Structure 1
Amino acid sequence: MSISRRNLLAAGSGLALTGALTACGSNTGRGDGGSGGATGGSGGTGGGDLAQWYHQYGEPGTEQAVRRYAAAYKKTKVTVQWRPGNYDQQTAAALLTDGGPDVFEVNGPTLDQIRGGQVVDLTDLFAGVKDDFNPAVLAPKTYEGKIYSIPQVVDMQLLFYRKSMLKKVNLQPPRTLDELVNAAKELTEAGDRKTKGLFLGNDGGAGSLGGTPLYAAGLSLITEDGKVGFDDPSAARALGKLRQLYADKSLLLGAPTDWSDPSAFIQGLTAMQWSGLWALPAVQKALGDDFGVLPFPKEGGSGKPSVPVGAYGAAVSARSKQQAAAKEYIKWLWIEQEEFQTDFALSYGFHIPARVSLAQKASKLKDGAAADAVRFATDNGYAQPLLWTPAGQSAYQDALSRIIKDGANPDTELKTVVRKTNEELQRVKKKSS
């Protein structure tokens, strides 16, 4: 699989975007290969045409599809630019100039881009349809009640489990974190030396899980009123159980491919694996009905099942001299053209349409594990809050790694992260005043 859209899930996991999730194989969709279209068609010049930017996807057919969508729009000519290389950096720089795009794809926008007045308020485009968008992916695109991009598709992470392996040791699919710990241990002890109970990634889960265990404990990274959401004893308990998995030697480590690739699960190296929706077609092709999917299991009495979700969105540059035309175009494409939205989600990889009604109607998502995934994304999804800054992410990521791999004290580690996150929140609030 050569799927790049999963990179956006770094936001959902509470990790830094760059390098947090990579596609299966070497092509992440952000490399310098592929066809062009990276030059020409500047935006914000008032020249009549609209310039639309996309990052370079690794999924075959995606570029041709978005060019076909643009060509179908008759009110204004839309020039699509396919941008190889570091797209996020390119876009950030272009938004400060008059030669950037009118319309652009964004994993965000970021808080700085919103506060800096670099993106246009799109709230009016959602009149009558806002409630039809997955609320988890819409939340980080919303600031002070205003929406700044239209979600295009939803991606998510999931826990895959092998039905036959669990049945062999009389285990039910784990619904709590304790059950997951116990199941991973029993499956490891019952299996041969080639099979482990659980695969969370070659680093033991520090790079793939992010804030997911916190949400499973009924907490959050940042609360709705802008405070640290994990300054609570249950956070340490949840992360301590990840360490237990590692200490029990229940985790597969050193697999030929990492967690985003389902090969270890398909090949029977592990009975359960944390991966993503993108892996479902390959798993289904290899294993038929001998698998199921779950959200990350809940922890404690106040916990709840949790799945990280994320979505690229379509935004309009505030530098564009054709803002009205740009808004009209993206409303046509990402709100009105349901056929294109479903095609973009499911014809070039495996994703969920951002509109709940479209996800429910899509034939590929109606049955089995796919239907379960849609339900989890709607009922249990969370995405990275806008106020979860890169510095806070880095502090948490380092602490999580030390807890899992080194057995560091979760309480001590989290106190440091809470302090750093509070500092970041104060810095952000001061900057906005």
Structure 2
Amino acid sequence: MSAPSKSNWSRRSLLRTATGLAAAGALTACGGNNGRGGGSSGDGLVQYFHAYGEAGTEQAIRRYAKAYQDANVSTQWITGSNFESKLFASLLTDKAPDLFEFHPQIQLVRSGQVADLTDIVEPVKDDFNQADIQSHTVDGKIYGVRMIDDPQFFFYRRSLLEKAGIGVPQTLDELLEAAARLTTDKVKGVYLGNTLHAVVRPLIWAAGADTLDADNRPAYHTDAVVGGIRQMRELFTSGDLLLDAPADYWDPSALVQGLTAIQFCGMWAMPVMQKALGDDLGVFPFPKVGDAGKPAVYNGGWSMFVNAKSERAEEAKEYVKWLWIDRKEYQEDWALSYGFHIPPRTSIARSAEKLKSGLPAEGVELFDRYGHFDNIGWTQAMIKATEDVFADAVRKGGDPEAALDRCDKVVGAELKKLFG
């Protein structure tokens, strides 16, 4: 399929808008029943989806819904780059959807916004990637059903690396060296996205650190992470990093159009890249940072949640069970027919022929070996705090230690609020 437009690919954003953050805080403050009824149509169930960039996705979601016999299910296909803020704003009104896609976030659980789905997931729990189950579990209960797993890594032009006489970068040092040698008057060495937000957590993991430890304490403020941030500043000021591209990292056009030799992106874009570049395409994980580091792959993705405050919450649960638990043919279609995603159901993933050879198989191997999943306790405020570190220390040249100290205060306050 042809490369999607900038406006469509921007819908995939995993970034959280300021409005969304404010709304998320309001959700936490709201607490219990506020009298809202579910469904913005008043007739049947309403589900919210962000507008995926892959061609055919909207038609597929509507086709699945039409096949459901027990209720009318309408789809709000939310266009624009602020899906999160529109979702959170709607959840505060009597036009809230009955079910919606999002990412695991503990504040949605704590505020009673999302329904416990343990009863529908438990019978098939062993057939899900267990990291997906863990990332949706709070106090032994499962909130949300994973629909797709989206590993993110670096794509590169094999011919350009060969021409420059360099190998695939194994360390962040080598990535910086490769970027310098690949940069010409027409092509930049590497592209990390316009905001750099996509590589914040991969860098933390690649430095051998983590967002939170097993006891929900900060685990990202280490010497290796500080060193990695300093290297990112070096790359940012080197002239070898593509800045202000026409589309952000989730859109494959920077690599496809020859603006860069290496691009950070997601597996969803692999078919578009392969169609444009053929065999002149390779992938590698975020390279290790420091001596104790290890390559890292962020597993993004989307999950389906039921609005616990909807008057039709039980009907919505039945629909989620029908589509995302019972209808494995639709789950496979959703994961593999519109871009490449890894099915979270292990039985589907094992039988997925499209992922068994070539570059897709390499992507799956990187996912299996180096993948990191969302921590449900890592909230949007915490995500923004680490993004602010990059904004200050990488883009503006501030002191990484001071930026991380400020981040620590935000994260600490959030953790105290959530866990005491």
Bucket of the pairwise TM-score, normalised by the shorter protein: 0.7 to 0.9
Q: Does 1:310 align with 2:305?
A: no
Find the aligned partners of 1:118 and 1:201 in 2 and give their Cα distance.
32
How do 1:180-199 and structure 2 match up within 5 A?
180-188=175-183, 192-199=184-191
How do 1:266-277 and structure 2 match up within 5 A?
266-277=256-267
How far apart are 1:236 and its partner, in Å? Answer: 0.4
Q: Is the 8 A contact 2:16 2:84 kept in 1?
A: no
Closer/same/farther in 2, CA of residues 310 and 19 from structure 1, 3 Å limit = farther
Find the aligned partners of 1:314 and 1:249 in 2 and give their Cα distance.
41
How do 1:153-232 and structure 2 match up within 5 A?
153-188=148-183, 192-202=184-194, 206-232=196-222
How far apart are 1:18 and its partner, in Å? Answer: 6.8
Which amino acid is 1:72 matched to? A
Find the aligned partners of 1:93 and 1:406 in 2 and give their Cα distance.
32
- Aligned residue pairs, count: 396
Q: Is the 8 A contact 2:191 2:264 kept in 1?
A: yes
Which amino acid is 1:81 matched to? T
Which amino acid is 2:304 matched to? A
The runs of at least 4 aligned residues of structure 1 exceeding 6 Å deviation read none
Which amino acid is 1:276 matched to? G
Cα deviation digits, residues 374-396 of structure 1 (max 9, x gap): 22233322244333333333332
How do 1:27-426 and structure 2 match up within 5 A?
40-42=41-43, 49-74=44-69, 76-84=70-78, 87-89=83-85, 91-92=87-88, 95=91, 100-102=96-98, 104-188=99-183, 192-202=184-194, 206-321=196-311, 323-426=313-416
Q: TM-score, normalised by structure 2?
A: 0.83
Find the aligned partners of 1:322 and 1:393 in 2 and give their Cα distance.
32
Closer/same/farther in 2, CA of residues 9 and 92 from structure 1, 3 Å limit = closer
Find the aligned partners of 1:256 and 1:283 in 2 and give their Cα distance.
17
Q: 1:28 corresponds to which residue? A: none
How far apart are 1:289 and its partner, in Å? Answer: 0.4
Percent same amino acid at aligned positions? 41
Structure 2 gap segments, 5+ residues each: 21-38
Which amino acid is 1:297 matched to? P
Cα deviation digits, residues 197-216 of structure 1 (max 9, x gap): 2122345xx33312210011
Find the aligned partners of 1:389 and 1:424 in 2 and give their Cα distance.
8
How far apart are 1:357 and its partner, in Å? Answer: 2.9
Find the aligned partners of 2:104 and 2:225 in 1 and give their Cα distance.
29
Closer/same/farther in 2, CA of residues 306 and 136 from structure 1, 3 Å limit = farther
Q: 2:32 corresponds to which residue? A: none
Find the aligned partners of 1:87 and 1:245 in 2 and give their Cα distance.
31
Find the aligned partners of 1:177 and 1:194 in 2 and give their Cα distance.
23
- Root-mean-square deviation (CA), in Å? 2.9
Closer/same/farther in 2, CA of residues 120 and 409 from structure 1, 3 Å limit = same
Cα deviation digits, residues 91-122 of structure 1 (max 9, x gap): 445556776444x1221353232112232211
Q: 1:35 corresponds to which residue? A: none
Find the aligned partners of 2:252 and 2:53 in 1 and give their Cα distance.
17
Find the aligned partners of 1:294 and 1:217 in 2 and give their Cα distance.
16
Q: Is the 8 A contact 1:305 1:380 kept in 2?
A: yes
Find the aligned partners of 1:248 and 1:87 in 2 and give their Cα distance.
34
Q: Is the 8 A contact 1:365 1:374 kept in 2?
A: yes
